[in-house]
């Protein structure tokens, strides 16, 4: 069975079929997630927080991303595997190429994700030029948490919103194949989704995006502490992990998740 391709994701956007994405960090969950119908397994550097117990994603290394990505790739057959380039592993285009090559060759990823706007456009162009599928990430950038002064909604001011929209267009132009939009007002997410030809995957970005992603442990209610307001505990509602995963995929596909309460004005 072949994996979901970029062409299939583009077709899903075109046909208005919503894309279900979840983070995955190991082989067993990767297998369960794709059996539940998840289209894209994101090996997020959120693993630094939910698996390693770090205070942020910053300490995660390329070696650790390779380790988790290869486990997810081994545990799955159909879903696309996207792996995060961790903090400071893509500080210039050549370093990004080297790190991406490791995630793809050793980690078995089909796409890499990196955070940032105008400042990473050249890097995205370099990766795309060398045949590396790229997922961009705008809005709340967890790797920039210290610069942002916390995990806050981004793009509420008109100037910020225009900058994020401009960055999204520039990243697509540079060759990005997909965009994750994190914690931005619903209206801005809707404008960006409408403006781009590539699939836009939201998290805390309202219901108008082409697909949704959540951190697996948040949607199972097992992340210690307070759950983000844009997430939902599907395990508490559905009683088993398999039922929770299936309910998430169905709710995303049917447009029942996220609801109004999972977005921001």
Binding site residues, ligand KIV, CB under 6 A: 23, 42, 44-46, 84, 180, 182, 203, 213, 215
Please, are residues 73 and 110 in contact by the beta-carbon 8 Å criterion? no
Q: How many CB atoms lie within 10 A of CB 110?
A: 20
Q: How far apart are CA 207 and CA 258, in angstroms?
A: 6
Residue closer to ligand KIV by CB (options 94, 226) is: 226
| 182 is known as an active-site residue | yes
Work out how close the CB of 137 gets to ligand KIV at its nearest, in angstroms, rounded to a whole number.
6
Catalytic choice (14, 64, 162, 182): 182
Work out how close the CB of 28 gets to ligand KIV at its nearest, in angstroms, rounded to a whole number.
18
| Among the listed residues 148, 146, 188, the one whose alpha carbon sits nearest the alpha carbon of residue 168 | 188
Please, are residues 99 and 109 in contact by the beta-carbon 8 Å criterion? no
Task: Return the residue nearest ligand KIV (CB atom).
Answer: 44
Work out how close the CB of 158 gets to ligand KIV at its nearest, in angstroms, rounded to a whole number.
25
Return the structure tokens found at 252. Answer: 């995303």
Residue closer to ligand KIV by CB (options 104, 203) is: 203
Residue closer to ligand KIV by CB (options 147, 159) is: 147
Which residues lie below 8 Å from residue 35, measured CB to CB, with a gap of 6+?
242
Q: 8: alpha, beta or left, given left = phi > 0 and alpha = psi -120 to 50? A: alpha
Strand partners, 93: none
For the chain, give the number of residues. Answer: 265
Work out how close the CB of 118 gets to ligand KIV at its nearest, in angstroms, rounded to a whole number.
19
DSSP annotation of 4 reads: P
Residue closer to ligand KIV by CB (options 45, 129) is: 45
Show which residues are catalytic: 182
């Amino acid at each position: 069975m072949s994996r979901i391709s970029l062409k299939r994701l583009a077709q899903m956007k075109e046909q208005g079929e919503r894309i279900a994405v979840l983070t995955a960090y190991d082989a067993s969950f990767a297998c369960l997630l794709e059996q539940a119908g998840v289209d894209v397994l994101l090996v997020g550097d959120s693993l630094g927080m939910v698996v390693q117990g770090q205070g942020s994603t910053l300490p995660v290394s390329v070696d650790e991303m390779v380790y988790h990505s290869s486990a997810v790739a081994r545990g799955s057959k159909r879903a696309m595997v996207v792996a995060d380039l961790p903090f400071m592993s893509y500080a210039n285009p050549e370093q990004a190429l080297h790190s991406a090559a490791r995630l793809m060759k050793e980690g078995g990823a089909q796409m890499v994700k990196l955070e940032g706007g105008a400042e990473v456009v050249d890097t995205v162009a370099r990766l795309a030029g060398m045949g590396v599928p790229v997922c961009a990430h705008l809005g709340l950038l967890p790797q920039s948490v210290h610069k942002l002064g916390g995990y806050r909604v981004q793009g509420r001011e008109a100037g910020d919103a225009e900058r994020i929209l401009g960055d999204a267009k520039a990243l697509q132009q540079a060759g990005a194949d997909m965009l994750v939009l994190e914690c931005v007002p619903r209206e801005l997410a809707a404008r960006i989704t409408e403006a781009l030809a590539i699939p836009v995957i939201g998290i805390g970005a309202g219901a108008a995006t082409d697909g949704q992603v959540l951190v697996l442990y948040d949607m199972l209610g097992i992340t210690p502490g307070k759950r983000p307001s844009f997430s939902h505990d599907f395990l508490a509602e559905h009683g088993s992990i398999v039922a929770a995963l299936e309910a998430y995929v169905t709710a995303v596909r049917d447009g029942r998740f996220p609801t109004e309460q999972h977005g921001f004005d």
